[in-house]
Amino acid sequence: MSVSAPLDPETLARAADLLRSGALVAFPTETVYGLGANALDDHAIARLYAAKGRPTFNPLIIHVATPAHAFALAEVTPAARTLADAFWPGALTLILRRRADCAVSALASAGLETLALRVPAHEAARALIAQAGVPIAAPSANPSGKISATRAHHVAEAFGEEVALVLDGGASRLGLESTIVDATGTKARLLRPGAVALEALQGVIDVETAPPSLAQDDGAMASANTAAPVSSPGQLASHYAPRATLQLDAQHVAPGEALLAFGAPLATDGPVLNLSAQRDLVEAAAHLFAHLHALDALSPAAIAVMPIPSTGLGFAINDRLRRAAAPRPD
Ligand code: TXA
Ligand code: MG
């Protein structure tokens, strides 16, 4: 594996060639790093699942360069048009029905009749996808069950030779995965809270929410308007999992614990990282995974997490923290 800066034309051309030929290339997006593979190539997708250690029945987000490319693969609905106009390119993933002639690997969408589509805003990501000339399937670039990568070195540390190249775009600007909305029906439905706040969605369209509860997460969640449930790793209670135990809504810090602070930190002699001293939820989201990684690397007895309001991006942050705190099989 090599790690390179993404924007010089030679590196971009090499990365696009690698993707087209079926290799795995990790790349920055404004949300988190993605582990990319040619979405038209079943073998590349299989290698991607293998590298992730992700069960093969879990579908991937397909990244395209423009909304027109997205709507060439899947059936556009009025809700999808409205949401795409407002949030693409950006941190929104739309679930839409595959077109009959859609050439995306069935493995990439786990045999579903629907497809998860996103037009990322990150300049290098869009240039890479455009130059590859194929849709790119890309889950977050972390091994299954581990927290998402928001730095190139997170990716480089987690994977070996199975990833051909990591494009280094620095720290992810948003640091939280995309918001996923099912737009197959007449009413848009929130499936995963993420970097586009619910309030922002509601500013342009009426969105149905079934707030993710851990009870619901651990089984499967109803797939886009089909009777069959789909198991969504992003929805599994234990998906965002540091090694250390998390104590949520901490009011004090026990000896041996690390503190993930928000606002003025609780008193402690142990290590402290602050999501946002100013209690800014956008700043907190951008720091969330990097701070969890950094504290987890210290192997503390536990990570105490201060309370975070559930407004705006706080909803998605608390959702990720609850998953990270959930009991999990080893
Ligand atoms: O910000 C992001 O969304 C990042 C960047 C790289 O784009 N990607 C990401 O992918 O978070 P991943 O694979 O870690 O999460 C994708 C989620 C999973 O929970 C998956 O089950 C769900 O999208 N998903 C994919 N296709 C679906 C479909 N057809 N119906 C319902 N859920 C779907
Ligand atoms: Mg993920």
248-275 pLDDT tens trace: 999 999 999 999 999 999 999 999 999 9
What span, in angstroms and rounded, lies between the C-alpha atoms of 45 and 129? 16
Q: What is the mean pLDDT of residues 205-211?
A: 85
- The model's pLDDT over 280-307, given as tens digits with 9 standing for 90+, comes to 987 887 788 779 989 999 999 999 999 9
Q: Is the pLDDT of residue 220 over 70?
A: no
DSSP state for residue 98 in the 8-state scheme? B
Cis peptide before 89 (omega within 30 of 0): yes
Q: Is the pLDDT of residue 240 over 50?
A: yes
Q: Which amino acid is at 159?
A: F
- The model's pLDDT over 183-207, given as tens digits with 9 standing for 90+, comes to 999 999 999 999 999 999 999 999 9
258 C-alpha vs ligand 2 centroid, how far in Å? 24
* Per-residue confidence (pLDDT) for residue 290, from 0 to 100: 76
What's the start-to-end Cα distance of the chain, in Å?
28
Listed in sequence order, the residues at least 6 apart from 102 whose beta carbon sits closer than 8 Å to its beta carbon are 73, 74, 115
Give the least confident one: 8-17, 72-81, 108-117, 237-246: 237-246
Look at ligand 1, atom 19, and give the residue with the nearest C-alpha.
234
* Per-residue confidence (pLDDT) for residue 6, from 0 to 100: 67
Q: Which atom from ligand 1 is nearest to the alpha carbon of 112?
A: 29
The more confidently predicted of residues 47 and 100 is: 100
Mutate to test the pocket of ligand 1, among 75, 88, 140 (most ligand atoms within 8 A of CB): 140
The more confidently predicted of residues 14 and 42 is: 14
Q: Tell the burial category of 302 from Cβ atoms under 10 Å away from its Cβ (0-12, 13-18, 19+).
A: middle
* Per-residue confidence (pLDDT) for residue 14, from 0 to 100: 96
> Coil, strand or helix: which one is 304?
strand
Q: Work out the pLDDT band at 55, boundaries 50, 70, 90.
A: low
Mutate to test the pocket of ligand 1, among 27, 93, 96, 142 (most ligand atoms within 8 A of CB): 93
Output the CA angle 140-12-43, nearest 5 degrees: 55
Helix runs in the chain, H state only: 9-20, 42-52, 67-73, 78-87, 123-132, 152-158, 198-202, 214-218, 281-296, 314-325
177 C-alpha vs ligand 1 centroid, how far in Å? 9
**Ligand 1, residues at Cβ distance < 6 Å:** 29, 31-32, 34, 58-61, 93, 95, 109, 112, 114-116, 118, 138-140, 177-178, 180, 191, 223-224, 230, 232-235
* Per-residue confidence (pLDDT) for residue 232, from 0 to 100: 46
Ligand in nearest proximity to the CA of 175 = 1
Q: What is the mean pLDDT of residues 216-243?
A: 42
Q: What is the mean pLDDT of residues 105-125?
A: 91
Q: What percent of the chain has pLDDT over 70?
A: 88
* Per-residue confidence (pLDDT) for residue 313, from 0 to 100: 79
Give the least confident one: 148-162, 204-218, 305-319: 204-218
What span, in angstroms and rounded, lies between the C-alpha atoms of 58 and 103? 18
DSSP 206-272: -EEE----HHHHHS-EE-TT-SSEE--GGGSTTSS--SS-EETT-SS--TT-EEEESSSPPP-SS-E
* Per-residue confidence (pLDDT) for residue 237, from 0 to 100: 42
Output the CA angle 188-147-58, nearest 5 degrees: 50
* Per-residue confidence (pLDDT) for residue 328, from 0 to 100: 60
What span, in angstroms and rounded, lies between the C-alpha atoms of 209 and 191? 8
The more confidently predicted of residues 2 and 308 is: 308
- The model's pLDDT over 150-169, given as tens digits with 9 standing for 90+, comes to 999 999 999 999 999 999 99
Q: Work out the pLDDT band at 214, boundaries 50, 70, 90.
A: very low
The more confidently predicted of residues 151 and 6 is: 151
Listed in sequence order, the residues at least 6 apart from 97 whose beta carbon sits closer than 8 Å to its beta carbon are 74, 75, 113, 114, 115, 184, 224
Q: Work out the pLDDT band at 235, boundaries 50, 70, 90.
A: very low
Give the least confident one: 55-59, 81-85, 149-153, 236-240: 236-240
CB 171 within 8 A of CB 10: no
